[in-house]
Structure 1
Amino acid sequence: MGIGATAGAAAIGGIALTANAATDTSATSTDLVFDPDAYTKLTTTVTDTEGTEHAVTYRFWKAITYVSKPVDATYQSLIVSAPVEIDGTAVDASDAPILLANSVGGYMPSSVADATGVGAGGMGGGAPGGGTPGGAPTGSAAPTAAASAAPGANGNTNANGGATSSNQLLALAAGYVVIEPGARGRTLKNSSGEYYGTAPAAIVDLKAAVRYIKANKGRIPGDVERIVSAGTSAGGALSALLGASGDSPLYDRLLEEIGAADASDAIFAVGAWCPITDLEHADGAYEWNWGGNALSTGKKVDQAVSKELRAQFAEYQASLKLRGLNGFGTLTARNYDAYLVKQYLEPSATRYLAALPDSAHDAYLAENTFITWKNGKAGFTWADFLSHIGARKKNAPAFDAFDLSAGENNLFGAGTTANRHFTAYSAKNDTTGLSTRRVASDLPAKLDRMNPMHHLVEKVNGSRSRHWWIRLGTNDTDTSHVVSANLAAAAARLGDDVNHLYYWDQGHGANTDPGDFITWIAKVTGYKRAAKTTKTK
């Protein structure tokens, strides 16, 4: 979809980036006051989704520490990029939306300390892997290879195998300000062996970044009341959490401890791709979705465990009392399959097939006979869809592993303990020989701080975002399809604007409509880019 005059630029997708430094006007500030003159002027070329190149000149502010008492400034810093000229026309981004694009992947550390331009920072990964990567970093050292080069999606919300910074560059070429924050992650530990990036460090850091931005209203470029977050996988979960928990007092003490600015941390809108969230209920949701699918080895998971977890999901889903979109009715474990097929999966397949040339359309249907095509719409059953997907990615339990091997076990580590159980079921069934098979007393509060559903269902937050862009690939078995659907239903029940769809035959981290996201930002923020009449500095 193209961006017309309302959005201020053509739709932008595939990217080619070439940056050239101009004059560096001053050094980076070391306090919480943004220095508007401490930028370097760079140029970049962005190729849009229609293949047209756009020349963008922008001001770039190197890594700025966004808290006054950082635990580790390598991660608690952000970079700022603001366009001043697009295709030869000067632009003023002082009132433009701000895209806050995190690069968190796998709940790993993310740093922009060495970033040299827009989209060039961040050390993200895919969905969480093992509990404790070998050689976990100490002190302020850089992340391990597991943190910086994990397979799968990255925090820049890129399409599978595509350019690594699509949303950031698209936003810049549309006239928006792009701010990219780093954040602490689960593998960081100091010289004493203590983990200092486990939950809820990442969300506290992102909130501190928002507070820094808002505290510098009038100095930092962009409209600080129109911040739109973006992230993928764990970064998508944090993006959703940032939007759901704006100004929640649950985080005040932790923000004060790191010297966050005295300002609001509420944001305007959320962009979340395949969010790995609602972790304390994710095991049940995963088994409800993928319990009948075998692993890639052809072996099925323990069906007794799968059955028990599915029962837990049914109880949890009933407690939510959520209603499906478009008048579907109350969502339960009994009807959620029908809901997913009707609301998301069939429309996804229909969009995909309708966009194919006739020959490719017919060939796809011939190869995938489980799909019926009638009156321009795709149809199929839930069971046939599961067969189409094939192997599941994760064992059971998928997130709180009995042997503490999941990345999420590491996310809830504490002190010198690398991995901990965070659900009563897995703690009870621990296979590592723990002396106490109970969830630690500090974990319920941490789980509340890490789960957007807490702020949308349990204790509705009046300062939450009111606009939600949520995406998931239909082939994504990193989590359950109901996780993002529940998130969308919870926001919609509160009257929020929800734009949620699934990408057909796409896996974890897909982002196949980045131009539409940029258009959506312009729509929900009411932004119209105008040429600047004064001379650029």
Structure 2
Amino acid sequence: MGIGAGAGVAAVGGLALSAQASADGTSASSSSGSDSLGSLAFDPDAYTELTTTVTDTEGTEHSVTYHFWKAITYVAKPVDEKYQSLNVSVPVKIDGTAVDASDAPILFANSVGGYMPSSVADATGVGGPAGGPMGGGGAPGGPSAPTASPSPSASNATGDTNATGGALNTNQLLALAAGYVVVEPGARGRTLKNSAGEYYGVAPAAIVDLKAAVRYVRANKGRIPGDTDRIVSAGTSAGGALSSLLGASGDSPLYAPYLKEIGAADASEAIFATGAWCPITDLEHADGAYEWNWGANATSAGAAVDQSVSKELRAQFAEYQAALKLKGLGGFGTLNARNYDAYLVKQYLEPSATAHLAALSDAARATYLAAHPFITWKNGRASFSWADFLTHVGARKKNVPAFDAFDLSSGENNEFGKGTTLARHFTAYGQKNDTTGLTAKRVDGDIPELLRLMNPMYHLVDKPNAGRSRHWWIRLGTKDSDTSLTVSANIAAAAHGLGDDVNHLYYWDQGHGANTDPGDFIQWIAKVTGRKARRK
């Protein structure tokens, strides 16, 4: 499906993309910064003009000429400029037609994966590799800079793959071709370590950095192209978690001291709309949610996980879900551990399978149904049971516990590291069952605050935040067992319960990092922002 990009601008909405960038010229002149912003003043003239080719969903190539600002440090007192910098891309010509992006929406696309470092310093244009592990170019679990150290198992953490970068690059290129401004921020991540052996990218560094980057953009209203009141964030996996957190926690005073410490601009960090793909979040409750969802499924090696541990964690989920008092979409009623399976099947899974099957040819649909007899196809609608769906998905991605590992081996344990301590427990259950020889019976005293800073559910349920995003685009693959299917559904239910606009669906038979409807996302941005590219 193509997207309407406004009068005189080609419709673009693509899956297959090519980035054939060529430098057409550079404007090196520099305008003086404003007195109020000092070093944080955006220089409108310090860009390089590039041209790239974007292929839309219909297979049509579009030539996009854009101005590219590279690696702008977005804080006055950076801890590490390589990661605390952003790129800006502004389209000026699409298929030979000049466009004015001065009031276009701004896509704020982070490329964080696995809560690892993400840098834009080496990017050569929009949608380029983001220089950090699993952020579009690095190997999972590997270091992204000389200061990075080996991390706990990335595969046991978020399961992020380089598909994270691919999914977002699609969004970024399509947004540019639609006439939107694209901002790509870097951020510190959990493996960064200084010469003293201290981890300086652990929680809450990544969300603080992204908030600071939003503040930079908003502080430069009138200097940076685009409508700074129409910022739409995007992120996948851990990046999806951070995008959700940006949307939920806008202008929360909890982050003020952290932002002040790094010299963030004095501006709002609220965003207008949130795009989140397979968010790995609500970490303190993620182990219970995972076992409720995937506890009966064997691992890829064919072995069942420890069912006594799984049962205890499922009980924790039941208690947590009941306390949320969330009502399901579609008038479903209050969600709990007893009815959540029926809710997922009715609200998301059967509609997802129906959409997938309806899009197939008659012959292809018959072949698929013959290979998957658990699906009943009647009157153009798919139906099946939750138990059969779990069997269809098959092996679970992670062991038990999936996030707060007893041996402190997960990436999330590293995310809550501190000082020279590589990894810490962040749940009472993980601390109680520690196998590394810890003597403390309780989690460290700063953990509760860090969990509030890192969890969008706190800002949507515990303390509903007035500065939150009011528009939510949430996506997840039905075969994504990197986290529970309830995690994104709870975010959607919480936002919907506050009266926000929620567009949430699951991709049938897709795994972690899937993004099968990027053209629809670009259309959605145009709809919710009311902004489209303008022809000059």
TM-score range, shorter chain: over 0.9
For the 8 Å contact 1:245–1:461, the answer to whether it is kept is: yes
Number of the residue aligned with 1:17? 19
Measured after TM superposition, the shift of residue 436 of structure 1 is 1.0
Distance between the aligned counterparts of 1:221 and 1:167, measured in 2? 19
Measured after TM superposition, the shift of residue 23 of structure 1 is 2.0
Distance between the aligned counterparts of 1:494 and 1:440, measured in 2? 33
Distance between the aligned counterparts of 1:223 and 1:358, measured in 2? 46
Measured after TM superposition, the shift of residue 10 of structure 1 is 1.6
Number of the residue aligned with 2:42? 34
Per-residue Cα deviation, 1:192-247 (whole angstroms, up to 9, x for no partner): 10000000000000000000000000000100000000000000000000010000
Structure-to-structure mapping, 1:32-71, within 5 angstroms:
32-71=40-79
Distance between the aligned counterparts of 1:339 and 1:124, measured in 2? 38
Distance between the aligned counterparts of 2:204 and 2:405, measured in 1? 20
Number of the residue aligned with 1:2? 2
SS of residue matched to 1:165: helix
Number of the residue aligned with 1:97? 105
SS of residue matched to 1:285: helix
> What letter is aligned with 1:17?
A
1:196 paired with 2:200, answer yes
Measured after TM superposition, the shift of residue 17 of structure 1 is 1.0
Structure-to-structure mapping, 1:521-532, within 5 angstroms:
521-532=525-536
1:118 paired with 2:122, answer no
1:350 paired with 2:343, answer no
1:228 paired with 2:236, answer no
Distance 1:411-1:144 versus aligned 2 partners, 3 A rule: closer
For the 8 Å contact 1:65–1:78, the answer to whether it is kept is: yes
1:152 paired with 2:152, answer no
Equivalent of 1:506 in 510, 515, 518: 510
1:432 paired with 2:436, answer yes
1:297 paired with 2:301, answer yes
For the 8 Å contact 1:424–1:439, the answer to whether it is kept is: yes
> What letter is aligned with 1:499?
N
SS of residue matched to 1:351: helix
Distance between the aligned counterparts of 2:123 and 2:226, measured in 1? 20
1:74 paired with 2:82, answer yes
Structure-to-structure mapping, 1:166-315, within 5 angstroms:
166-315=170-319
Number of the residue aligned with 1:535? none
Distance 1:126-1:65 versus aligned 2 partners, 3 A rule: closer
> What letter is aligned with 2:331?
G
Measured after TM superposition, the shift of residue 25 of structure 1 is 1.4
Measured after TM superposition, the shift of residue 302 of structure 1 is 0.4
For the 8 Å contact 1:11–1:519, the answer to whether it is kept is: no
Measured after TM superposition, the shift of residue 278 of structure 1 is 0.2
Percent of matched pairs sharing the same residue:
74
For the 8 Å contact 2:12–2:177, the answer to whether it is kept is: no
Distance between the aligned counterparts of 1:360 and 1:143, measured in 2? 46
Measured after TM superposition, the shift of residue 145 of structure 1 is 13
Equivalent of 2:521 in 500, 517, 531: 517
SS of residue matched to 1:502: strand
Distance 1:27-1:508 versus aligned 2 partners, 3 A rule: farther
Distance between the aligned counterparts of 1:416 and 1:79, measured in 2? 31
Task: Tell me the C-alpha RMSD between the 2 structures.
Answer: 2.1
Per-residue Cα deviation, 1:162-188 (whole angstroms, up to 9, x for no partner): xx7100000000000000000000000
Per-residue Cα deviation, 1:304-324 (whole angstroms, up to 9, x for no partner): 000000000000000000000
> What letter is aligned with 1:448?
R
Distance between the aligned counterparts of 2:277 and 2:301, measured in 1? 28
SS of residue matched to 1:271: strand
For the 8 Å contact 2:133–2:144, the answer to whether it is kept is: no
> What letter is aligned with 1:442?
D
Displaced runs of 4+ in structure 1, greater than 3 A? 5-9, 27-30, 123-127, 132-139, 141-147, 153-157
Per-residue Cα deviation, 1:329-367 (whole angstroms, up to 9, x for no partner): 000000000000000000000000000011110000000
SS of residue matched to 1:434: coil
Structure-to-structure mapping, 1:434-473, within 5 angstroms:
434-473=438-477
Distance between the aligned counterparts of 2:162 and 2:388, measured in 1? 27
SS of residue matched to 1:31: helix
Measured after TM superposition, the shift of residue 410 of structure 1 is 0.2
TM-score norm. by structure 1 comes to 0.94
Measured after TM superposition, the shift of residue 9 of structure 1 is 4.0
Distance between the aligned counterparts of 1:293 and 1:271, measured in 2? 30
> What letter is aligned with 1:368?
H
Number of the residue aligned with 1:485? 489
Measured after TM superposition, the shift of residue 529 of structure 1 is 2.2
For the 8 Å contact 1:138–1:193, the answer to whether it is kept is: no
Measured after TM superposition, the shift of residue 4 of structure 1 is 2.3
Distance between the aligned counterparts of 1:155 and 1:256, measured in 2? 30
Per-residue Cα deviation, 1:144-174 (whole angstroms, up to 9, x for no partner): 9998xx862544361xxxxx71000000000
> What letter is aligned with 1:172?
L
Distance between the aligned counterparts of 1:133 and 1:441, measured in 2? 28
1:165 paired with 2:173, answer no
TM-score norm. by structure 2 comes to 0.94
Measured after TM superposition, the shift of residue 521 of structure 1 is 0.2
> What letter is aligned with 1:3?
I
Measured after TM superposition, the shift of residue 490 of structure 1 is 0.2
Distance between the aligned counterparts of 2:170 and 2:304, measured in 1? 37
Measured after TM superposition, the shift of residue 135 of structure 1 is 6.3
Structure-to-structure mapping, 1:295-374, within 5 angstroms:
295-374=299-378
> What letter is aligned with 1:234?
A
For the 8 Å contact 1:153–1:232, the answer to whether it is kept is: no
Measured after TM superposition, the shift of residue 123 of structure 1 is 3.5
For the 8 Å contact 2:287–2:404, the answer to whether it is kept is: yes
> What letter is aligned with 1:504?
W
Equivalent of 1:109 in 97, 112, 117: 117
> What letter is aligned with 1:431?
T
Number of the residue aligned with 1:161? none
* 311-320 or 111-120, larger mean C-alpha shift: 111-120
